[in-house]
Structure 1
Amino acid sequence: MNLKLNVRHLELLELLPIYPKFLTVNQLVVKLANQHAYKDHDEQNIKRNLQRDLKQLEQYGITESGDSPEGLKWSLVKGSMYLTAQLSPADALCFAIIEQFIQPMMPNVLSPYLTRIFKKSTQILANLNYHSKLKTWLDKVYIENKGQPLIPAEIDNMVRCCVYDALLAENILEIEYKNKSGELSNASVQPLGLVVRAHIQYLIVQYCGYDDVRMLAMNRIISCENSHKTFDYPDDFNLKEYVLKGTTGLAYSDSPIEFEGIFTGFAAEIIMETPIAKNQQTSTYRTDAEDKLLVKASLTMNYDFETWLLGLANHVEVLKPVSLRNLMREKLRAAVQLYDDS
């Protein structure tokens, strides 16, 4: 026979700590007196129902008891992961971090369950002593986006929910999409993944009937409908590999380039501490004026890499490939013309 949880059970599970922590019956009676299921009940009535509920939950391996001088002490079984279990301050902090940084990427199916946990975590942290180290942790940590901060592109919430549901279930999406030129188009796509890049979220898809993988900016999806038609997720596609190739940085080609460049000053320090690729090789490039850093690496040429090099200005000179050197020259010359006072 399956256990049917009622309101009393749920309120009790919210109060019980996980073993080895415990609460006695008398302690639970005090805590339950103001709960919805026990309002207007006298102490004896609460204790009688409580003991019955605890025994019933114990039969299903949810609670366990032990002796104490004050009577039986009760806990949730060790390793319990019940969503209604009492959270410690450390648990509450973990969920607060999840809510702040990760929750927006979670599939919709999890949200109803997590909403209660997030709310409870906020309450626990708010009730901590002001000087508690756990309470002030979120004030001491900040995740800063790389580069100039931009206001995130706005995504229609109905579109977001529809996309997340289809991505989770591996269903074909019917979408209306607006490209950069403002042109509208309708398409059937197979959602393969979601990539969050600072201020923009990209849906990685295959158009039905085609094998190539494409990126669609979520904010440009005007409307969408979950067809509830499943598709075979491609065995040869790996989202992490797709991202690490640099494709989401708007790759110019599928083939890697053999990069060589001379770095000086702060640019040399940056590239020594944080390499541009795992295969990066560096050596001293000696000149009469100063020692510079020669950097070689094989990597995917994309828009992000181009703008990064341009941002280093006179602290980097691209040697190879020649096509990239010429591109840098053209863009920097154009920039000089904009600031030419003559």
Structure 2
Amino acid sequence: MAKRSSTQESVALAFELLKRIPRHRKVTASELRNQLESIGITRDIRTIQRNLETLCEHFNITRDERSKPYGYSWNKCGEGLAMPNLSSHEALLLSMAEDYLANLLPSNVMASLDGFFSEARYKLNPHCDNSKDRNWLKKVRVVSETQPLLPPKLDSEVLKAVSGALYNDRLLNVEYHNARQQTRTALVMPLGLAQQGCRMYLVCRFDGYDNERALALHRITKAVVSSFSFERPKDFRLSQYDADGRFGFGEGDKCKIVFCITKPAGYHLLETPLAENQTVEEFDEHYSISATVIDSLRLKMWVRGFGDDIWNVSYGK
């Protein structure tokens, strides 16, 4: 039985290695070991090297021995393993999605997609004969509605631990500092990960409490995945947490906001309403607008941003 288990592990290791050997660039044994560790497969470097040597003998894989560390890749005439021939549109989509997904998907999932992203980058690289596809990335861009800010620095090990605990429903020991620079430690139940602008937040429940809090990921200085699992609360939904305005420093309470706003400042609200029940009354120089929205600090800050262009503001039930 032990022999059978060992054989299965060897086959699984070989399969994972084959999936991660690229066609259009070289990868080292150390890089492959790091990729395997990100999905929970831990092997020493010598074991990886021995397996790569065996794979080179049985598959169309080349080993570049011109310099160390050696690089491995599929032979140019080889088809690789389970790697689709991406269409131009698929390559464009993956290239645009890679940066956006990098901090939203668990690290082990991102590692498993590395081959697809590499294939997309190759298909769009300057040496490929597809200038229209390559130039498309220069023609599209996501732009910010607010003053652009540089993203805070994230500890890669913290992100790896947080995403791993979230993915596997494991309790998480964290050390973090709050806005007052006070250092705290806590055992938390990770429930969701959200990106708001350039910041990322971990939505969690602290041990001993039944309410949710959002911790800024860049303020977590240390995170250790516990060996204890937990059952996700049946009454929690990340989409509802967001809809309740919790990322805007609200508590889910709704209010009816009524205000007057100059036409130049408020015209966009006719195109992008505050809510489905928004009403607008037009006057010569301004609009009178009312809508039912989530009451939050973000709402108040949004109103203050209009300065003298907005007046007679009231928040009712």
Structure 1 runs of 4+ off > 4 angstroms?
4-7, 9-15
- Judged with a 3 Å threshold, the aligned counterparts in structure 2 of structure 1 residues 258 and 128 are, in CA distance, closer, same or farther, namely same
1:258 to partner: Cα distance: 1.4
CA 321–104 in structure 1, closer or farther in 2 if over 3 Å, else same: closer
Q: How does 1:113-128 map to 2 (within 5 A)?
A: 113-126=112-125, 127-128=127-128
Is the CA contact (8 Å cut-off) linking 2:257 and 2:291 kept in structure 1? yes
Instruction: Say whether residues 1:214 and 2:213 are aligned partners.
Output: yes
Q: Distance in 2 between matches of 1:314 and 1:241?
A: 34
The 3-state SS of whatever aligns with 2:138 is helix
1:301 pairs with 292, 295, 298, which one?
Answer: 295
CA, structure 1 residues 269+305, in 2 after alignment: closer, same or farther (shift >3 Å)?
same
Find the partner of 2:61 among 19, 23, 36: 36
Distance in 1 (alpha carbons) for counterparts of 2:205 and 2:285: 49
Give the structure 2 partner of residue 98 of structure 1.
97
- Give the direction of change, closer, same or farther, for the CA distance of 1:100–1:6 in structure 2 (3 Å limit): closer
Residues 1:230 and 2:224 aligned together: no
Q: How many residues align?
A: 259
SS of 1:305's partner is helix
Partner residue in 2 for 1:243? 242
Written as runs of structure 1 = structure 2, the 5 A alignment for 1:247-266 is 247-251=246-250, 253-266=251-264
TM superposition score normalised by structure 2:
0.73
Give the 3-state SS of the residue equivalent to 2:253 in structure 1.
coil
1:267 to 265, 268, 280: 265
Kept in 2, the 8 Å contact 1:173–1:188? The answer is yes
SS of the residue aligned with 1:300?
Answer: strand
How far apart are the structure 2 equivalents of 1:137 and 1:145?
20
Structure 2, gaps ≥5 residues long:
1-7, 25-59, 65-77
Range 101-110 or range 121-130, more displaced:
121-130
Question: Secondary structure of 1:256's match?
Answer: strand
- Contact conserved, 1:260 with 1:296, CA < 8 A, in 2? yes
Cα 1:261–1:14 shift into 2, 3 Å: same
What amino acid sits opposite 2:259 in the alignment?
Answer: G
SS of aligned partner of 1:143: coil
Measure the CA separation in 2 of the matches of 1:267 and 1:245. 26
Does the C-alpha gap of structure 1 residues 161 and 281 become closer, same or farther in structure 2, counting only changes over 3 Å? same
The Cα shift of 1:275 comes to 1.1
Q: Which has the larger radius of gyration?
A: 1
Any idea what SS the aligned residue of 1:148 has? coil
Deviation string 1:297-318 (CA, Å, 9 cap, x unpaired) is: 1111222222221121122114
What is the aligned partner in structure 1 of residue 314 from structure 2?
320
- Give, in angstroms, the shift of residue 130 of structure 1: 6.0
For 2:183 and 2:272, locate their aligned partners in 1 and report how far apart those are by CA, in whole Å. 41
CA gap of 1:121–1:259, structure 2 versus 1, over 3 A, is same
Distance 2:19 2:235 in 1: 45
| Sequence identity (%) | 24
Considering only aligned residues, what root-mean-square deviation do their CA atoms show, in Å? 3.2
Give the letter aligned to residue 306 of structure 2.
L
* Superposed CA offset, 1:164-196 (max 9, x none): 000101111111110111111111110110110
Give the equivalent residue in structure 1 for 2:27.
none
Q: Residue 104 of structure 1: SS of its match in structure 2?
A: coil
State the distance in 1 between where 2:138 and 2:237 align: 36
1:174-193 matched pairs, under 5 angstroms: 174-193=173-192
Deviation, structure 1 residue 92:
1.6
1:278 and 2:276 correspond? yes
* Amino acid aligned to 1:192: L
* TM-score, with length taken from structure 1: 0.68
Task: Please list, as runs of the form range in 1=range in 2, the aligned pairs for 1:19-58 lying within 5 A after superposition.
Answer: 36=61
Structure 2 contact 244–253 (Cα < 8 Å) conserved:
no
How many angstroms apart in 2 are the aligned matches of 1:317 and 1:10? 61
For structure 1, which runs of at least 5 residues remain unmatched after alignment?
Answer: 16-34, 40-53, 55-74, 77-81, 324-342
Q: Aligned partner of 2:292: which letter?
A: S
Name the counterpart of 1:79.
none
CA deviation after TM superposition for structure 1 residue 278, in Å: 2.3
Give the structure 2 partner of residue 88 of structure 1. 87
The superposition leaves residues 199-246 of structure 1 with CA deviations (integer Å, 9 ceiling, x where unpaired) of: 211110111111111110001111111002111111111111111222
Tell me, in whole angstroms, the C-alpha distance in 2 between the residues paired with 1:267 and 1:38.
63
**CA pair 232-266 structure 1, distance change in 2 beyond 3 A:** same
Task: For 2:306 and 2:97, locate their aligned partners in 1 and report how far apart those are by CA, in whole Å.
Answer: 35
In structure 2, distance between residues paired with 1:201 and 1:38 = 40
Matched AA of 1:144 = V
- Give SS of 2:137's match: helix
Deviations 1:32-56 (A, max 9, x none): xxx63599xxxxxxxxxxxxxx9xx
Q: Is 1:13–1:86's contact at 8 Å kept on the other side of the alignment? A: no
Alignment-derived partner of residue 162 in structure 2: 163
